[in-house]
Structure 1
Amino acid sequence: MLSRWDGDARADLKAVVVLRDGQLAAQRYYNGNDAQSLHDIRSAGKSVTALLAGIAADRGRLRFDQPAARCLPGAGQALAGARVSDLLSMRSGLDADDENPQSPGNEDRLDEAADPVAFALSAPRREPPGTRYVYNSLTAYLAGLCVEGATGQPLDAFADAHLFAPLGIAHWRWQRDVGGHAKGQGNLSLRAGDFARIGQMALDDGRWQGREIVRADTLRAILAPRARIGAVDPYADEYGYMWYRKRLRVGAGEIPVVFASGNGGNKLYLVPSLRMVVAIQSSAYGRGYGQRRSQDILRALLGAAPTRADGTEKSR
């Protein structure tokens, strides 16, 4: 089935890896890529930042309900009253909107800033924190800085010690900004199989090969729906702590899916009812068809493993 995309003339699909019940069920690589290729998953890295916040919480270094200013030295009045949970759920109240180039906290302005930390901490308030979901990378960048402030370690070093190494992920790259901070908003490069490993750990309640990586209750808090976003996002119904949720119609039924998402069609789908993980890497950056294609691939995979109304797999 995955060979359907071999001849895609756009030549920017990179990889699809499918796990079922923790085992490799299928993998296919496209356009010169292979199992060793590192690929920038863009904003799907935000979901990794959320996992790192959870690991820091498990270690007693921060709490989701604590004031964000506690782990952000230099935070001003714009963040007064904002909690870590508001950063993780894109409800910081800051005037930051990646869909609006005129927004003071737009992602492009953050990337161009000579001092990204000072720029992010100086973003003005638009509304009270916790009231409205607005997708933006500045808030995710602050979440990454919060993990650094809480743990006393660079974000990428903390990730290596407490997430990547325990999962056996040895080859990765996380882009740093001009100030030397790993970009909590994205630009993490992984191999497709390792991307899928992160998904399998999340599907298995935070455990990998019998080892607890993230506490199960912490992971549930990360994945739980926090904001309804279907009115502004055609690919998702709800947003948690930098993870999305969608009830995807397949045939006559609907299948709940939890996922990480990045520009260009980079997706990490968790399908609990099928014990399935689907990692898709793509470089269709800034092109709407990338997201549509990844959802089409997922639909095709779900169609190959239909479910009954109770969400369990049909006998075949």
Structure 2
Amino acid sequence: MSTDAKQLVQPPPEHCPGTESETAGKSAACAGCPNQQICSTAPKGPDPDIVEIEQRMKTVKHKILVLSGKGGVGKSTFSSQLSFALAMNQDTQVGLLDIDICGPSIPKIMGLEGEQIHISGQGWDPVYVQDNLAVMSVGFLLEKEEDAVIWRGPKKNGLIKQFLKDVFWSDLDYLIVDTPPGTSDEHLSIVQYLKTSHIDGAVIVTSPQDVALIDVRKEINFCKKVGIPIIGVVENMSGFVCPKCTKESQIFLPTSGGAEQMSKDMNVPFLGKIPIDPLIARSCDEGKSYLITFPESEATKQYKLVFDKILNSVDTKQ
């Protein structure tokens, strides 16, 4: 049985030797940890589920994480529009995995409210927006959309593992993983479970103001620490262009230079800026692709520039 199955009472501390390590529960870093007894008595060795995940992920060419240090910066919106954009090519197979366990907004954004997961002989079947765009979310497991998911870390980690191990994605060109804000259980789990399956990289979404950039710096440091390549940073909600007078206004002031300056300071790629457009929010509420519905908008033009940079980065790393 893996340590996950024994259910850690708290997330592993920063200097944890690893719950599967031979020194788990015995090293100096374990002293005083609430998980010490669990780790010291758990069977050691590689988690057998990792092998199953690796086999399942062999049919997925590219895996891209979408991260944000802070909530409310439009990360799930970005994940959905990236997925819609990739699926505009009918020859491209796309999957969108929502691991925001406590705040699953992807079903609504993708127009899949009320859908349920079906189980076949090959595993859990994702829910399809169209023939080449599949989605999986805890939202499909809830009886009612407003039901609260009140889970501790181990249960959330177990569901993420199940999504990776048991969902039958078939052959995918891209798997986009929409994560919750921060650098906690869900992020550690996705990195751990995909450690042998190759993550192409992370796209980090922020808004221009310092209160968001502070948390994004932490997200960048998290990626560097756990070895996730950073594809780049996107500044969302970057100014508002009046559709009538075309004058641009800064809604969230970039008092320290915004995401572009931060990216230079931290030596990570800057992918571009997406302006505020109320029609983006309307498209998400209606479960539609903003890029298809408003192809001539300024935001669509900027989305496409950013998406091209992401695809170029992923393709050159093959």
Q: What range is the shorter-chain TM-score in?
A: under 0.3
TM-score (norm 1): 0.25
Flag the structure with larger Rg: 2
Structure with greater proportional helix content: 2
TM-score (norm 2): 0.25
